Amino acid sequence: MSLSLPLKDLAEESSLFRNRVLIAALGIALLTLALCARLVYLQFVSHEHYQNLSHNNRVNILPLAPTRGLIFDRNGVVLAQNVPSYSLEVVPEAVADMDALLNELREIVAIREIDEQRFRKALKRKKSFQGVPLRFLLSEREVANFAVNRHRFPGVDIQARLSRDYPLGTLAAHLVGYVGRISEADVARLDAVAYRGTSHIGKIGIERSYEGLLHGGPGYQQVESNAAGRTLRVLERTPPRPGNDLYLHLDAPLQALAEQALSGLRGAVVAIDPNTGGILALVSAPSYDPNLFVNGIEAARYGALRDSPARPLFNRAVNGQYPPGSTLKPFIALAALEVRLKQAGKKIFCPGWYQLSKGGRKYRDWKKRGHGHVSMTEALAQSCDVYFYELARTLGIQRMHDFLVRFGFGEKTGIDLPAEAAGLMPSPRWKRKARGKPWYPGETLITGIGQGFVLTTPLQLALATATLARSGERVVPRIVARAHHLAVDEETIFLAVRQPAITMQREKNWRRVIHGMVQVVHGPRGTARRSGLGARYRFAGKTGTAQVFGLRQEEEYKEKEVAKHLRDHALFIAFAPVKNPRIAIAVVVENGGSGSHSAAPVARRLLDQYLGQGAGQEKLASVASGAG
Amino acid sequence: MSLDSNEGLLIRGGPTRLQGPVRQRSLAQRLHIDPPLLLGLLLLSAIGLMVLYSASGQNSQLLLRQGVRLLIAFTVMIAVAQISPRQWCRWTPWFYGLSIALLLAVLAGGVMGKGAQRWLDLGVLRFQPSEILKLTVPMMLSAYLAERRLPPRTSRILIAGGFILIPTALIAMQPDLGTALLVAASGIFVLFLAGMSWRLIAGLGACAAVLAPVSWFLLHDYQRQRIVSFLNPEQDPLGAGYHLIQSKIAIGSGGLYGKGWLNGTQAHLEFLPERSTDFIFAVLSEEFGLFGAFMIFAVFLLITVRGLQLALQSQEPYGRLLGGALVLTFFVYVVVNIGMVTGVLPVVGVPLPLVSYGGTSMVSLMAAFGILMSAHTHRRLLSEGRRI
């Protein structure tokens, strides 16, 4: 080509080229300036912004779950604790042949079909460097076996976690409750930030109602992680704040005794310290093992518990609603004294039945032959129905209702458990509203003996008994006595919550009724006199027998049908010692027959045990109060 | 030819040089090497290796491979510099024809083009005939235009345009729009330096402005996606915009002085994709800060300015046009790469010359500098041509 080069004006060409290069240089300068400006903007002007972004990129905040607080009874017996539980985890990226690995592992630890399925599912979700759990709850033997063979399994390791454990099993299961894995329903009620590292939450019982104290506060660690999310190192660590340990009012031996007394039966026992409202025992029989629920209960097992006719999951002590039967009579007597009914001061003749009007329906006494002429004390001791029919008729339903609600009947007690039933204290107004029907005079009569519409929970009965024992001083029942914060060694003491006391126009009204209740157990003709025999302290009680038959569906009481029905519920309320009472008890034995036969002996055993320690002093005290 | 005694006279034109004996020629002159340019290139390579060591996660094997490539590339440069521009000019049509044939072979062989989805793949080494076109297109144009007097007539410009358009279209069909545009640019630079009239430049510019919106419809989806993600990277922070966001974070978080060598968190924690190749400038900016970025930019400028200076001093039209165009192309690489990494230009797969990990483009680039040196040091071609 160059051979055919024609003559050219070299100088002109050179200057043209120089011109063009200069223009290009100008363009280069402009572009340089623009890029430098951009760099200054990114690295100087917006440096802080990008530095933050970079920091957020690499630094991950990982939550550290706090250790859940322990639960103790009043003497430090452990009711709920955290124990290490071992799980087997596999890091997929370290495993070349997963099938071969699983086959080899099978020789050492049991891997069920369901374990493998769950594992394979999780394998797809997790990143290859994250451990995937293969087996939970390894036994000690399996842990030891694996430890010896660990060298054979690179990428497989044992992880220890803390798992909730209830060492006493079924003991106080309804009261302590249990924790379980956080469900979708739980998510709605919890603080997402505080629970970021937590897997379990209180589901029921104290575990639920004191969740806030038990859970503690989460800690955090700042870790540096790469784009794939792999943690490279820990930059900073804020330890979690452990949850509070709870000390209950509960007396574990007393609880154990009560559960033993009710073994094989269905029923409930509530024991309260009348001075503080502290729950000493709270039994619902039959019970269940809360440990089953902690790491997920198998469907079949849960179904068996749920569908069992004995309803072990149901907390009868606070949610069971029973007609109080004759255990309501002391309160009716008090009402009569308070409004100064003439009848309360004199003897009433009991022929064995009662009629509202001549030729009308006969309301029968439990004793066919009748009690004859009975005073209030005698009526209480012998549980004369006719006497209380008469009191109820004279009081009328409205006055009875107004008086009894002051003892907490028909209202929730405010106990520190997540759920409780309110019971029912009927009134004409309630009946009109709920049933759309007028109140019948006959219903007033049966309300006087704790039948009909009236329903109480064992807890309500125990609480009303405690109020009676303290001559009207009312407290809110409490399960937890104090919370101990381990980290700062601080103690929160839950003081007794007192409610306005019930004042009587005459203080001696209390003594008259209590005297009648003492005669129930210590009187010669008392219904529970056999349970009072040989007691080294004086106590007051009242038997009750409640018809099981659903009276609420009946407009009128049909005596004959009920009499042939299933066995009645047996009830007993008591407190002791009579002077300076330290314990008030309500016992309900479902279909237990009569209160005196099946419920009162239970109460007696509990009283013996609870008051047993200071028997000598108790004896003195009871002797001193003998006159009262 | 190197024994030509007139050389000293024509090089500097200074009277002092006239007195200098022929024997005094330095080694660099005998090797047809320009020491300042070589120094700049060596400096750039050294910085590049240092940054690459950090960007690759201190992978010494990778560093070794890059070192071997640099060695080859510098050898190619020196070898190319030994051959006179006249010879290159003579061979040019053959080279051009061969490179077009290779392009056709690629199209026929069905080797697929670049897709944005390959971005997370690291260091894919491919032989790309399109890289050769970055050299042969300006060579062809320079040879064609240098035949006649400059500035060229419009008819010759149209033919020259054809020389550009054919390979550009073929590369765009691969499809590799970024390379196609850069190849076209290298050709257009020759036209520009040859003195193409401003009226024509303005007319072409207007045409491009009109055609740009039309071309949107001719683009592939991934190409549109790149432009969209360039305009609004936050729209899809984990998809196509991810690299851009992470790259800006890397650069911005570097600040004035940087996080220090080997301490760039964006790069080492693998947030930054393509950190050894296209986005290596972000690693440098993160670890050495604004000052480091300015430093390497200064080296790029030094090379560019010295390159243009060499082209200016060259008296021979072929070498002059070609050398100038290649230097401008080199600078455009730098601008496009840094512009892309800092988010002022759309993401196109253009490596940072001599710094990014990779082979093909490095060899063709150094060959270009070899031609430039050849054009500068073999300046007696003109006199020889006259004699012939």
- Model pLDDT for residues B117-156, shown as the tens digit of each residue: 222 222 344 457 778 888 999 999 999 988 877 788 888 8
- Averages of pLDDT over each 10 residues, chain B, 388 residues: 40 42 66 90 94 89 92 93 89 92 73 34 51 90 85 86 90 76 90 87 84 73 68 55 83 89 81 85 93 94 94 86 93 92 82 84 88 79 41
Residue owning tokens 């006649």: B148
Pick from A14, A39, A226: CB nearest B293: A39
pLDDT at A459: 96
- Helix orientation angle between A508-522 and A458-469, rounded to the nearest 10 degrees: 120
Distance of CA B306 to the CA centre of its chain: 15
CB of B99 closer than 8 Å to CB of B133: yes
pLDDT at A394: 92
Q: What percent of chain A is predicted at pLDDT more than 90?
A: 50
User: Chain A: nearest CA to B388, how far in angstroms?
Assistant: 8
Cβ distance B253 to A51 less than 8 Å, yes or no, reads yes
Q: What span, in angstroms and rounded, lies between the C-alpha atoms of B110 and B114? A: 13
| Whether the bond into B151 is cis, omega within 30 of 0 | yes
Q: What span, in angstroms and rounded, lies between the C-alpha atoms of A439 and A396? A: 11
pLDDT at B330: 93
B246 in contact with chain A, both atoms CB, cutoff 8 A: yes
- As a dihedral over the C-alpha atoms of residue B122, residue B128, residue B132, residue B138, rounded to 10 degrees, the angle is -80
Helical ranges in A150-298 per DSSP H = 173-176, 184-189, 205-209, 211-215, 252-261, 291-294
Mean pLDDT for A198-225 is 87
B13 in contact with chain A, both atoms CB, cutoff 8 A: no
Query: CA A295, A297, A300: angle at the middle one, nearest 5?
Result: 160
User: Among candidates B124, B128, B125, which has minimal Cα distance to B105?
Assistant: B128
Which top CATH class is A252-288+318-624?
Answer: alpha beta
Q: What span, in angstroms and rounded, lies between the C-alpha atoms of A209 and A205? A: 6
Cβ distance A1 to B290 less than 8 Å, yes or no, reads no
Cβ distance A39 to B290 less than 8 Å, yes or no, reads yes
The B residues from 88 to 147 touching A (CB cutoff 8 Å) are: 89-90, 92-93, 143-144, 146-147
Distances (CA, A) of A410 to A213, A218, A465, A507, B381: 30, 41, 15, 25, 117
Q: Which of A185-189, A619-623, B7-11, B299-303 has the highest mean pLDDT?
A: B299-303
Query: Beta strands of A433-511 (E only): which ranges?
Result: 474-475, 480-485, 490-493, 498-499
Higher-confidence residue: B177 or A417? A417
Pick from B86, B315, B339: CB nearest A35: B339
What backbone phi and psi angles, to 5 degrees, belong to A383? 60, 50
Q: Where are the domains of chain B?
A: 33-387
| Whether the bond into B233 is cis, omega within 30 of 0 | no
pLDDT at B16: 41
Distance of CA A166 to the CA centre of its chain: 14
pLDDT at A566: 65
| Sheet of strand A59-64, all strands in order from the earlier edge strand to the far edge | A59-64, A219-225, A231-238
Q: What span, in angstroms and rounded, lies between the C-alpha atoms of A574 and A596? A: 12
User: Among candidates A189, A166, A194, which has minimal Cα distance to A72?
Assistant: A166
Is the pLDDT score of A600 beyond 80?
A: yes
Query: Which residues from chain A sit within 8 angstroms of residue B305, using beta carbons?
Result: 25
Cβ distance B301 to A32 less than 8 Å, yes or no, reads yes
Q: What span, in angstroms and rounded, lies between the C-alpha atoms of A339 and A156? A: 78
Is the pLDDT score of A145 beyond 50?
A: yes
B150 in contact with chain A, both atoms CB, cutoff 8 A: yes
The pair of three-digit structure tokens given for residue A558, joined into one six-digit string: 């049909």
Mean pLDDT for A547-564 is 47
B290 in contact with chain A, both atoms CB, cutoff 8 A: yes
pLDDT at A296: 76
Pairing of strands A71-72, A78-90: antiparallel
Q: What span, in angstroms and rounded, lies between the C-alpha atoms of A7 and A552? A: 126
Given the residues A284, A287, A326, A427, the one annotated as active site = A326
Which top CATH class is A85-162?
Answer: alpha beta
Long-range contacts, stretch A253-258, CB < 8 angstroms, 24+ apart: A253/A609, A254/A280, A254/A281, A254/A606, A254/A609, A254/A610, A255/A73, A255/A171, A255/A172, A255/A280, A255/A281, A255/A282, A255/A283, A256/A171, A257/A605, A257/A606, A257/A609, A258/A283, A258/A602, A258/A606
Cβ distance A6 to B89 less than 8 Å, yes or no, reads no
Specify the 3-state DSSP secondary structure of A61.
Answer: strand
pLDDT at A329: 94
Q: Which residue of A has its CA nearest to B195?
A: A16
Q: What span, in angstroms and rounded, lies between the C-alpha atoms of B171 and A387? A: 112
Higher-confidence residue: A239 or B15? A239
Q: What span, in angstroms and rounded, lies between the C-alpha atoms of A317 and A417? A: 11
Q: Mind listing the pLDDT tens digit for each residue in A40-86?
A: 999 999 898 888 888 887 777 777 888 999 999 999 999 999 988 88
Is the pLDDT score of A587 beyond 90?
A: yes
Query: Which residues from chain B sit within 8 angstroms of residue A42, using beta carbons?
Result: 248, 251-252, 285, 342
User: Among candidates B40, B35, B45, which has minimal Cα distance to B305?
Assistant: B40
User: Among candidates A327, A382, A387, which has minimal Cα distance to A519?
Assistant: A382
Largest pairwise CA distance in chain B: 69
- The count of other CB atoms within 10 Å of the CB of residue B315 is 20
Mean pLDDT for A422-437 is 93
Give one DSSP letter per residue of B186-250, joined into a string. HHHHHHHHHT--HHHHHHHHHHHHHHHHHHHTTS-HHHHHHHHHHH-GGGSTTTTTHHHHHHHHH
Pick from A2, A17, A47: CB nearest B385: A2
Is the pLDDT score of A610 beyond 60?
A: yes
Q: What span, in angstroms and rounded, lies between the C-alpha atoms of A450 and A452? A: 7
Pick from B149, B192, B290: CB nearest A44: B290
To the query of whether residue A357 is one of the catalytic residues in this protein, the response is no
Cβ distance A18 to B312 less than 8 Å, yes or no, reads yes
pLDDT at B157: 87
Q: Mind listing the pLDDT tens digit for each residue in B256-269?
A: 998 888 888 887 77
Cβ distance B290 to A40 less than 8 Å, yes or no, reads yes
pLDDT at A199: 82
Residue range A56-77+168-244 in CATH 1.10.1740.10: no
Distances (CA, A) of A92 to A131, A155, A159, B254, B261: 7, 7, 15, 36, 34
Cβ distance A20 to B192 less than 8 Å, yes or no, reads yes
Specify the 3-state DSSP secondary structure of A269.
Answer: strand
CA atoms within 13 A on the CB side of A11: 0
Contacts of B154 (CB under 8 A, 6+ apart): B200
> What is the average pLDDT score of chain A?
86
pLDDT at A450: 92
DSSP code, position A496: -
Specify the 3-state DSSP secondary structure of B368.
Answer: helix
Q: Mind listing the pLDDT tens digit for each residue in A459-471?
A: 999 999 999 999 9
The pair of three-digit structure tokens given for residue B234, joined into one six-digit string: 């936050």
Is the pLDDT score of A549 beyond 70?
A: no
Q: Which residue of A has its CA nearest to B309?
A: A21
User: Chain B: nearest CA to A91, how far in angstroms?
Assistant: 21
pLDDT at A92: 83
pLDDT at B127: 59
Query: Beta strands of A488-576 (E only): which ranges?
Result: 490-493, 498-499, 540-546, 569-576
Query: Which residues from chain A sit within 8 angstroms of residue B92, using beta carbons?
Result: 1
Query: Which residues from chain A sit within 8 angstroms of residue B146, using beta carbons?
Result: 1-2, 5
Q: Where are the domains of chain A?
A: 56-77+168-244, 85-162, 252-288+318-624
Q: Mind listing the pLDDT tens digit for each residue in A302-326?
A: 888 888 888 999 999 999 999 999 9
- The count of other CB atoms within 10 Å of the CB of residue A506 is 11
pLDDT at A615: 44
- A85-162 and A252-288+318-624 have identical folds: no
Cβ distance A39 to B317 less than 8 Å, yes or no, reads no
Q: Give the amino acid at A459.
A: L
Query: Which residues from chain B sit within 8 angstroms of residue A47, using beta carbons?
Result: 252-256
CB of B273 closer than 8 Å to CB of A228: no
Cβ distance B251 to A39 less than 8 Å, yes or no, reads yes
Largest pairwise CA distance in chain A: 154
Higher-confidence residue: A244 or B383? A244
Mean pLDDT for A486-504 is 85
Is the pLDDT score of A561 beyond 70?
A: no
